[in-house]
A and B are shown apart, each in its own frame.
Chain A
Amino acid sequence: MPSLTETRAMPARRPPASRSASTNEDRFLLWIDGVGGFLLLTRQAVTIGGPTGADADIQLLASLSRQHATIRRDDGNYLLEAHGPTSINQRPVFEPTELRDGAEIRLGTSVRLAFHRPSVLSGSGRLSFQSDHRPTHSLDGVILVADTCLLGPGRDCHIRCPEWDDSVILIHRRNDWLVHSPQLDLEIHGKRLRGETVISDGQIVTGPELRFHIETLAVESSNRGGRR
């Protein structure tokens, strides 16, 4: 089965500080019809790196160090720690630096990412690709999930779905994904959802003119040796 886990190459050691001890899944792909594919990352600290050797959480086909930068969620704020040449809003950074809404991150010479926190109601943030660099497969963005991920037509959504009539909330709670929409009628296998409902891996959620599913990226020891 093809999956983005294959973008993770050889096992490698990673700085222990950047990994939690948990073995629970923390990388997911969200596929939305008519909108795109998004990487959802739920851990506190997320590493960004190049394709060679290392197993960064966001591994870009770009000329970057194995672990080029870490973005850490800390007390509601996002801090970027640079391990390789990095600038934020055109200013080179060496110390851990807070990422504010709208920050432009430049990694190495050519990778550009934008950081957004579109909703004040959610601690989650979004990384979007400004340059043409992507993981080995085309992703449309990365969501750093603190608690919730909002999908919908509004500008305050983490993932904008312009054609949708209203928004859908994905909630990450105790290693489960829950889905809820205040306005839209959502279904799984033709069964109407009421309130917050747990969705399991690969279950397809449908609604008026919308369809999406979450794919869990397996924690495979061969791919993620650094985590054993």
Chain B
Amino acid sequence: MTSGKFTFAPESTPLAGFTIKRGIQRGGFGEVYYAISDGGKEVALKLLHSHVEIERRGTEQCLNLKHPNLVSIIDIREDDDGDTWVVMEYVSGHTLDQVLAEDYPNGMPVDEVRSWLDGLASGVDYLHDRGIVHRDLKPQNLYRESGYVKIGDIGLSKIITPSQRGAQTESIGTIYYMAPEISRGEYGPEIDVYSSATIVYELLTGHVPFEGESTAEILNRHLTDQPDLSPLPRNLRPVLDHALAKDPAARTQSLGALLTEFDDALAGRTPHTPITPPQPPQPAQASGATSVPVAQPTEAVLQAPGSAVVVGSSHSRPGQAPLRRPRVFFPEEHHGPLSPRNISISQRALEATAGMAAAILFTGLLASAGHLTGMFGVSEQSAPLRAVAFGLTTLLGAWALLVGTKAWEGTGRESLSVRRLSLLLLGGGVGAAGWWLHQVLLVDLPPLAESQTAGLVDSIGSLELVRNQQPTLAGYVMFFALLFGIRRWWWHTDGFRPKRLRVLSLLLTVTVSWILGLVLQFPLAAAAGWGLGIAIVVQLSAPWVAPAHRRARLEQEGAQHA
């Protein structure tokens, strides 16, 4: 919306019989004013600026169209200077793009989108039935008044050529909604389906499917890029994939059909007829875009792992109010860790990396808290170094666990002994690193407790576990290897663990590390500290999916799999 400078001043009467009150909008196509007729009728007056003859012809065709969803054209007039004016019904209220910007910057609820699509489909199908293609559908042209969606600019802006688009920056708003075949000069009714689909996409997500720095870039993306459907509700992805098809012949054939597919998808029904030839599943793109074969939205739900049971899928006639999504129940045991899921390697890598980053923060907090509360000594000079050594070792342990357990999350293939053995080895590595750190930083662990005069095991063969009250390399390795091997750490890091942080699990880990300390003659304070520290950091850092969102996550992963 441009307030800009308007040619005619308020209270002027360039067109006899109408008094202009204010400018409404200004663009490359012309100027629109709010005016009141001598009889008191409020109208929108459009002064045609350019391509007047073509615009005029287009408008004349539509002059007598009547439909509740179309902004009606009252008349075409010429003023004394020979300028052409289109007298239109004035529609009060916000345009769809204002509604979107003001109330729903991140997308509208599906029901709201559906109600806009309903009016849009009804009006556009009426136009198509009369042999007219709108050619310039965009949120700026859509209004809602007294509950009716109103489509504006009927019969205007007929002359859209890529060259003009390139030259006219005022039209940049339109280019976001422009079908690819327009660049080849094809103006079939399919271009309105494409524009409407981009509008629906924008309403659902808050942004258009193809954005870009320049007109050329946006045009090019319409021609070549697959839209990223991942921000859309899963059931609607095939619907918009169909309606945004590059090839007009493969596209949803009418807005009525788009609405039906929309409703079917929301209700979880398979479309009545296969609409496109089955497409081979396309590999997911780097952007995360997915393409699900159009004809199988419900199958995709059913294929979701864990043998989803679809219940409550109601069957209603097309065109009815949207139904709730089918309720899909997964048996309870599939919500937890060890449940087979189709998590992509990249997703697991992402979660591990995110967890590792978070672990830095939590370890830092933990070590600082320990230091501030005097756990590493109150006045000794070595206290800060001790905190650092403790923190770094904890961080290494947490990292090793995150990487190790994420590697097999959701696969459900390895036996438990394989998992334990891998963790045991990782633990050994962490132990060695911990020992090395303490050597390098020249810090000692707290002395052995009095009750620890003798461990159950103080040497393995000729390898001493303890020397001068301090654990040796072998001592460190043994302690961490066993700590890692005994606990089922994959429960601590799994996205589907029952709670993000389980106190019971922390207590158990502390107990295990305490017993290990006693058995291996490892200083008890350090043993319990590391057991607790690593358990807290790992659980806080590992990404967690709230139970309410797990079904959606499983569906999403199922879709990626499909």
Contact = CB atoms under 8 A, between A and B. Distances in A.
B10 A31 contact: yes
B3 interface: yes
Interface of B: 1-6, 9-11, 19, 21-26, 34, 36-40, 42, 90, 92, 101, 145-147
A166 B23 CA distance: 19
Given A31-B34, A138-B90, 5 more contacts: A132-B145, A132-B146, A134-B92, A163-B3, A204-B10
B2 A202 contact: no
Nearest to B23: A33
Contacts of B1: 34, 163
A210 B9 CA distance: 12
Contacts of B40: 2, 6, 136-137
A138 B92 contact: yes
A217 to B, nearest CB: 13
B105 to A, nearest CB: 13
Given A33-B3, A132-B145, A211-B23, A2 B10 contact: no
Contacts of A215: 11
B129 to A, nearest CB: 29
6 tightest A-B CB contacts, nearest first: A34-B3, A138-B92, A33-B23, A31-B22, A2-B36, A132-B146
Contacts of B11: 202, 213, 215
20 contacts: A2-B36, A2-B37, A32-B3, A33-B24, A34-B1, A34-B2, A35-B3, A37-B21, A132-B145, A134-B92, A161-B3, A163-B1, A163-B2, A202-B11, A204-B9, A206-B5, A209-B5, A210-B3, A211-B6, A213-B11
A140 interface: yes
B395 to A, nearest CB: 45
A1 interface: yes
Contacts of A164: 3
A161 B5 CA distance: 15
A67 B38 CA distance: 29
A138 B42 CA distance: 8
Nearest to B41: A2
Interface string A127-164: 00000101011101000000000000000000001111
A31 B4 CA distance: 15
Contacts of B36: 2, 137
A104 to B, nearest CB: 16
State the main secondary structure of chain B at its contact with A. Answer: loop
Interface in A171-228: 202, 204, 206, 209-213, 215
Given A6-B40, A140-B92, A33 B6 contact: yes
A34 B23 contact: yes
Contact of B19 (A2, A33, A136, A211): A2
A196 B2 CA distance: 27
A164 B37 CA distance: 29
B45 to A, nearest CB: 14
A211 B6 CA distance: 9
Interface in A6-37: 6, 31-37
A211 B3 contact: yes
B25 A34 contact: yes
A33 B22 contact: yes
A7 to B, nearest CB: 9
A75 B118 CA distance: 49
B42 A137 contact: yes
A34 B4 contact: yes
B47 to A, nearest CB: 14
A103 B481 CA distance: 65
Contacts of B23: 33-34, 211
A191 to B, nearest CB: 15
A31 B36 CA distance: 13
Contacts of A161: 3
A108 B117 CA distance: 32
A71 B25 CA distance: 34
Given A34-B23, A138-B92, A2 B38 contact: yes
Given A31-B21, A37-B22, A137-B36, A209 B3 contact: yes
A2 B21 CA distance: 10
Nearest to B24: A34
Nearest to A137: B42
A41 B482 CA distance: 81
B22 A1 contact: no
A133 to B, nearest CB: 10
Contacts of B90: 138
A215 B92 CA distance: 20
Contacts of B42: 137-138
A6 B37 CA distance: 13
Query: Interface centre among B3, B23, B39, by most A CB within 10 Å?
Result: B3
Contacts of B4: 33-34, 209
Nearest to A213: B10
Contacts of A37: 21-22, 34
Contacts of A33: 3-4, 6, 22-24
A202 B12 CA distance: 11
Query: Interface centre among B5, B9, B10, B26, by most A CB within 10 Å?
Result: B10
Given A6-B40, A37-B34, A32 B92 contact: no
B335 to A, nearest CB: 40
Contacts of B21: 31, 37
Nearest to B32: A34
Contacts of B22: 31-37, 212
A1 B19 CA distance: 8
